[in-house]
Structure 1
């Protein structure tokens, strides 16, 4: 099993998100413990699994575009 483990800051630089956004909005809603990240030795430190996140990002793109409903204000509703 060959995995690349990243800290929150390293992940943020790879996916061009703020580290705070990853911690507050993506963790536990989009990124699931055991699938996308682990807590080694049961501690506070979180390590993200790059291959799982990359696969999730690539799978999510066509699905979201396929069901996106354009809104009058320029936004998009993901139905």
Structure 2
């Protein structure tokens, strides 16, 4: 399977969120390392996996999903 890897700025353009919001609020809470992004060669640079992010954005959210973080 071929993946499309995006920088934070490129992802920002696609999902219409500010790059700082992606880095400070979405990364490691909604976007998880190993699922939604990788650090190639163990470095500092982050590459987001577009297909996984797009798939997760299209999923519907249930009340039970929202309650998971509260309980």
TM-score normalised by L of structure 2 = 0.86
In structure 2, C-alpha distance between the alignment counterparts of 1:44 and 1:37, rounded to whole Å: 12
In structure 2, C-alpha distance between the alignment counterparts of 1:28 and 1:41, rounded to whole Å: 19
User: Is 1:9 the equivalent of 2:29?
Assistant: no
What residue in structure 2 maps to residue 58 of structure 1?
A: 58
Higher RCO (C-alpha 8 Å, min separation 6): 2
User: Is 1:25 the equivalent of 2:25?
Assistant: yes
Please provide the CA RMSD for this pair: 1.1
Name stretches of at least 5 consecutive residues in structure 2 with no aligned partner: none
Structure 1 residue 33, shift from structure 2 partner: 0.1
Moved over 3 A (4+): none
Name stretches of at least 5 consecutive residues in structure 1 with no aligned partner: 68-77
Aligned residues: 65
* Higher radius of gyration, 1 or 2: 1
